[in-house]
């Protein structure tokens, strides 16, 4: 079968990572075009991977040799490129978030549902992680009965210099927001943010860290997620679903176990890259395969919208500490029953 010809918008760290992955680990595709607001950066990447360098994302989307588009640009520009791709009827894979603003997401919902065919996929790669998949399968198996609560932690080793309290929710928390509703197949009705004692070691203006997101779903499942940008010891993702008859929990990654120096231990790695490597591979391979088969099933524009809007609401109520109801934009029928 012909290779899928992909154009990549955004040649920053994430974009370059995707280009490398498409070339080295994904079967049946090639990167044929790149674009970036930093034209020089785009040129360098283009020459390295043998792709054409476009003047703009819009030009790239219009290029006839581009079969499908991957958007890895600056968050605030995601929506416009996605909309342009939808206008052109080209499959588009957009890194999370679909947009930082609910209103932009709504425009995408309108455009895609008008088209009547799913062509937008959002980069919630955790849904492709074997651990989360086994977690969902276990919940569905009924072994824990109906889920009642989820306890989760999202711990980064250290935060970027630019990290703020709101970004902690919108960048890191958004993964948790998406994966919880995917696990439970339900929407949220209420949210709250707790502000624990500030980490004094990693103290920084504009960043309250840690924070705890509390979410409640339609059926009453209560979720607490520790958002911790400076765990001090490693990148650590924990998730335990508690049901009527038992619990099921994400495993720690398999790592050699050492007994030395008075302790039995295993390493917790600092970076998120290695934690979800395989999930990224599966995500993109499935996307390429499904685009070629003209039917995609990954995280939808609606999923992107819900995640965006939930993060927006939590961002608003985090400082006051109040308990806030959450209501979402209208969900076009097109997206119903899509979990």
Site for a second copy in 54-113 (CB under 8 A): none
With 0-12 / 13-18 / 19 or more C-beta atoms within 10 angstroms meaning exposed / middle / buried, residue 149 is: middle
333 binds a second copy (CB under 8 A): no
In the 3-class helix/strand/coil scheme, how is 161-185 assigned residue by residue? Answer: CCCCHHHHHHHHHHHHHHHHHHHHC
Question: Half-sphere exposure (CA, 13 Å, Cβ side) for 58?
Answer: 5
For a second copy, the binding residues in 228-287 under the rule CB under 8 A are: 228, 230-234, 236, 242-270, 278, 285
SS3 at position 72: coil
Single out the segment in contact with a second copy by CB under 8 A; choices: 7-15, 170-178, 210-218, 311-319.
210-218
Residues 289-318 that bind a second copy (CB under 8 A): none
> Which string of b and e fits 180-215 if b means at least 16 CB within 10 Å?
bbbbbebebebbbbeeeeebeebebeebbbbbebeb
User: Per rule CB under 8 A, is residue 115 in the interface with a second copy?
Assistant: no
| Beta carbons of 94 and 82 less than 8 angstroms apart | yes
State the nearest-atom distance from the C-beta of 320 to a second copy, in Å.
11
Beta-bridge partner residues of 188: 217
185 binds a second copy (CB under 8 A): no
**According to the binding rule CB under 8 A, does residue 219 interact with a second copy?**
yes
Report which secondary-structure segment, H or E, holds 316: helix 301-317
d(CA 300, CA 47) in angstroms, rounded, equals 33
Task: Say if residue 210 is preceded by a cis peptide, omega within 30 of 0.
Answer: yes
Cα–Cα distances in Å, from 127 out to 123, 145, 280?
A: 9, 22, 10
Residue 195 touches a second copy, criterion: CB under 8 A: yes
- Measured from the CB atom, the residue of 38 and 218 that comes closer to a second copy is 218
Name the one residue in this structure whose structure tokens are 């499908």: 68
Number of residues lying near a second copy (CB under 8 A): 78
- Smallest gap from Cβ 321 to a second copy, in A, equals 7
Q: If binding is defined by CB under 8 A, does position 149 make contact with a second copy?
A: yes
If the CB atoms of residues 100 and 243 are measured against a second copy, the closer one turns out to be: 243
- Using the minimum distance from each CB to a second copy, give the nearer residue, 141 or 330: 141
| 219's tokens | 């059926």
Q: Which is nearer to a second copy, 59 or 240 (CB)?
A: 240
Task: Please identify, among the stretches 4-12, 52-60, 76-84, 192-200, the one whose residues bind a second copy according to the rule CB under 8 A.
Answer: 192-200
Smallest distance from a second copy to CB 61, Å: 26
Question: Of the candidates 39, 44, 151, 324, which one interacts with a second copy according to CB under 8 A?
Answer: 151
Q: What's the closest the beta carbon of residue 191 comes to a second copy, in angstroms?
A: 12
Query: Scanning the structure block, which residue is given the tokens 């939590």?
Result: 314
Query: Is the bond leading into 310 cis (omega within 30 degrees of zero)?
Result: no
User: Which of 143/338 has CB closer to a second copy?
Assistant: 143
Residues 16-35 that bind a second copy (CB under 8 A): 23-27
């Amino acid at each position: 079968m012909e290779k899928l010809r992909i154009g990549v918008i955004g040649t920053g760290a994430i974009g370059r990572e995707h280009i490398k992955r498409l070339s080295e680990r994904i079967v049946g595709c090639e990167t044929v075009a790149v674009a970036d607001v930093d034209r020089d950066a785009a040129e360098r990447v283009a020459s390295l991977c043998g792709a054409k360098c476009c003047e703009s994302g819009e030009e790239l989307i219009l290029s006839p040799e581009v079969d499908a588009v991957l958007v890895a640009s600056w968050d605030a520009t995601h929506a416009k490129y996605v909309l342009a791709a939808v206008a052109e009827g080209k499959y588009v894979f957009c890194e999370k978030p679909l947009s930082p603003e609910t209103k932009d997401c709504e425009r995408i919902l309108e455009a895609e549902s008008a088209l009547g065919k799913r062509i937008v996929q959002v980069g919630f790669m955790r849904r492709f992680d074997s651990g989360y998949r086994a977690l969902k399968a276990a919940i569905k198996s009924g072994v824990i009965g109906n889920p009642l609560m989820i306890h989760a932690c999202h711990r980064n080793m250290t935060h970027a210099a630019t990290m703020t309290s709101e970004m902690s929710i919108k960048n890191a928390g958004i993964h948790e927001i998406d994966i919880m509703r995917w696990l439970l197949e339900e929407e949220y009705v209420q949210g709250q943010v707790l502000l624990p004692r500030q980490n004094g070691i990693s103290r920084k203006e504009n960043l309250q860290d840690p924070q705890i997101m509390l979410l409640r779903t339609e059926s009453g499942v209560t979720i607490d997620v520790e958002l911790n940008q400076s765990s001090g010891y490693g990148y650590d993702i924990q998730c335990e679903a508690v049901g009527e008859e038992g619990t099921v929990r994400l495993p720690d990654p398999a790592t050699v176990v050492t007994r030395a120096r008075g302790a039995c231990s295993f390493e917790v790695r600092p970076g998120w890259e290695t934690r979800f490597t395989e999930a990224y591979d599966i995500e993109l391979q499935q996307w390429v395969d499904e685009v070629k088969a003209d039917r995609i099933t990954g995280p939808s524009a609606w999923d992107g919208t819900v995640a965006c809007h939930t993060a927006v609401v939590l961002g608003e109520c985090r400082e006051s500490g109040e308990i806030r109801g959450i209501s979402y934009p209208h969900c076009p029928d097109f997206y119903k029953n899509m979990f």
